């Protein structure tokens, strides 16, 4: 596999993990996107892209839902702020 293709696939996996995490946690993505004219969402995505807790994230997402964002997640506080009201 080429280096470029591998890098693209890695970014795809990160994007999927981000989407799965916000879904799992019930994050109000519309409100997150509206905050700071999209700045909060862009910052959250960048933090996720830079995160090195890939294995922990995959394990968390593969397990049973547990409520709050895990401590290893660099977006833990932000996701808590934008949790959808049930």
- List the domain range (segments joined by +) for residue 10: 3-81
Helices (H), 26-65: 29-34, 39-50, 54-62
66 inside domain: yes
16 inside domain: yes
pLDDT tens-digit readout, 11-61:
888 999 999 999 999 999 999 999 988 899 999 999 999 999 999 999 999
Q: What is the pTM of this model?
A: 0.86
Q: How many Å apart are CA 22 and CA 17, to the nearest integer?
A: 9
Residue 17 contacts residue 70 (beta carbons within 8 Å): no
86 inside domain: no
pLDDT tens-digit readout, 67-83:
789 999 999 999 999 98
20 inside domain: yes
Provide the number of structural domains found in the chain: 1
Look at residue 66 and tell me whether its pLDDT is greater than 90: no
The whole-angstrom distance between residue 28's C-alpha and the CA centroid of its chain comes to 12
Dihedral of CA 12/17/20/21: which sign? negative
Look at residue 1 and tell me whether its pLDDT is greater than 90: no
8 inside domain: yes
């Amino acid at each position: 596999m080429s280096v470029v293709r591998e890098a693209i696939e890695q970014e795809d996996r990160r994007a999927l993990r981000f989407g799965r995490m916000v879904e799992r946690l019930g994050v109000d993505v519309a409100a997150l996107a509206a905050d700071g004219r999209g700045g909060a969402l862009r910052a959250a995505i960048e933090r996720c892209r830079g995160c090195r807790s890939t294995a922990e994230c995959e394990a968390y997402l593969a397990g049973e839902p547990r409520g709050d964002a895990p401590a290893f997640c660099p977006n833990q506080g932000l996701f808590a702020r934008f949790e959808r009201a049930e």
